[in-house]
Amino acid sequence: MNKSLAKSQTFWGLIQSGKSTKLNLRIYQSLLTEPRTIDFFRSVLKIQHQSCTASLSVLEDMGWVYKSKTVKVGKKSFTLFCAETDPIKAYERALSVEKYKKQEWIKRGYRNEWFDSKTAENIALQLNLDLPEVVQ
């Protein structure tokens, strides 16, 4: 079992039990009512910016939270985050995020000359990924 599935299943258990007071669960539960911005978590829930962004990132990695759109208010832009309620879709999102991160790592490695295109191709093949365009 990969990490994404294990984390996603563990979090699903927490969601169902409702017994956790962890920050990730508080943020997730607040997103169940409506999409929210980081500003909401900071001002209404009194969560520090760094803690909020870290939790949202973890929840995105697990597939339980996703960015729905960006809203512009005056000169500022705000990202709206939504909660995923379907465990199968959450797992699919987690796999998608994991794949994206691996492909970005291959692109970064090639750009920074950590390895050549042949090595990048071999890595992508071993990870069952499409070779990123920048490497082709």
Query: Residue 36: beta bridge partners?
Result: 81
Q: Mind listing the pLDDT tens digit for each residue in 74-114?
A: 898 899 999 999 999 999 999 899 899 999 999 999 899 99
Higher pLDDT, 1 or 95: 95
Distance CA 115, CA 61 (A): 26
Tokens of 54: 């870290």
- As a whole number, the mean pLDDT across the chain is 86
Tokens of 119: 């090595």
**Per-residue pLDDT, 72:** 87
Contact between 70 and 80 under an 8 Å Cβ cutoff? The reply is yes
Contact between 106 and 95 under an 8 Å Cβ cutoff? The reply is no
Average the pLDDT over each of 14-28, 52-66, 109-123 and give the range with the smallest value: 14-28
Helices (H), the chain: 3-17, 23-31, 38-43, 49-62, 87-111, 117-126
Q: Is the pLDDT of residue 18 over 70?
A: no
**Considering the domain 3-84 in this protein, what is its CATH number?**
1.10.10.10
**Per-residue pLDDT, 69:** 92
Query: Residue 65: beta bridge partners?
Result: 83
Residue % of the chain over a pLDDT of 70: 84
Q: In the structure, what pLDDT confidence band is assigned to residue 128 with cuts at 50, 70 and 90?
A: confident
Domain boundaries, the chain: 3-84, 89-135
